[in-house]
Amino acid sequence: MPGRKLLLVTTDAALAALLPPQLAQGTDFSAEAAAPEAGQLRLAEAAGRIDATLLDAAVMPGPSHWGPLLREAGGGRPVLLLGQAATEEAPHVLPPGISERVPRPVRLPDLVARLHALLAAFEASPDAAIPLGGYAFHPAGKLMLGPGGKRIRLTEKEAAILLYLHRAGGRAVPRAELLGEVWGYSSAVTTHTLETHIYRLRRKIEPEPQAAKLLLTDEGGYRLGA
């Protein structure tokens, strides 16, 4: 099941019809298409819950007026401008809030590669904050901030577990996959190691660890709740 969420802002009916299904087939992205006005509303209401935004420059007026909204609602997440290459007439100066240009026609492997690279850079930045439950999760700082200034310090492995589950986008991640991604494949690491970390992590972030609502056990693995 595609996990990472994209917002495609366009009035091009063909692009809106073709790109989301292509992304859903064989990538870890799902895309929602919206016209410019609806896209602005969607960004505002889903602040921090959209992983990246694709703005179609070919059918939109200049994107510079999106800058304040992208900074506030996007929280520094990647924004790609589709269909506008850098030329002598349009030099490689990006409008405010735009991370990168991607020429049209869009080549799916290139788009997915750029999204992965930009998201990895974002998640590694000190300012990156990912909403998880009622917390703001800061992967680089290994920190979760909750209401009333609550601060929860995470170990490196705990932060890596939460980040990988977040990237899965609600998919149940099998224990073997999570072990391989967080610890690497080592005969010294067992399922018990993972279960111990999950137990300790729940005690940190769940108000009632025995009735978990954020870090859930599901289908032979773990996933994040809504």
In DSSP notation, 143-191 reads EEE-GGG-EEE--HHHHHHHHHHHHTTTPPEEHHHHHHHHH-S-TT--H
CATH number at residue 136: 1.10.10.10
pLDDT tens, residue by residue, 53-106: 998 887 666 656 666 666 666 677 888 988 865 444 455 667 777 888 888 888
68 and 169 part of one domain: no
Q: Which of the listed residues 96, 124, 152 is the one where a domain comes to its end?
A: 124
pLDDT tens, residue by residue, 189-215: 788 999 999 999 999 999 999 999 999
Q: Are the CB atoms for 36 and 44 separated by under 8 Å?
A: no
19 and 43 part of one domain: yes
* Number of domains observed in the structure of the chain: 2
113 and 15 part of one domain: yes
CATH number at residue 25: 3.40.50.2300
- What is the extent of the structural domain holding 163? 130-224
Q: Which of the listed residues 68, 89, 124 is the one where a domain comes to its end?
A: 124
108 and 189 part of one domain: no
SS3 state of residue 102: strand
Question: Is this prediction's pTM over 0.85?
Answer: no
pLDDT classification of 148: cutoffs 50, 70, 90: confident
Q: End-to-end distance of the chain based on CA atoms, in angstroms?
A: 15
71 and 169 part of one domain: no
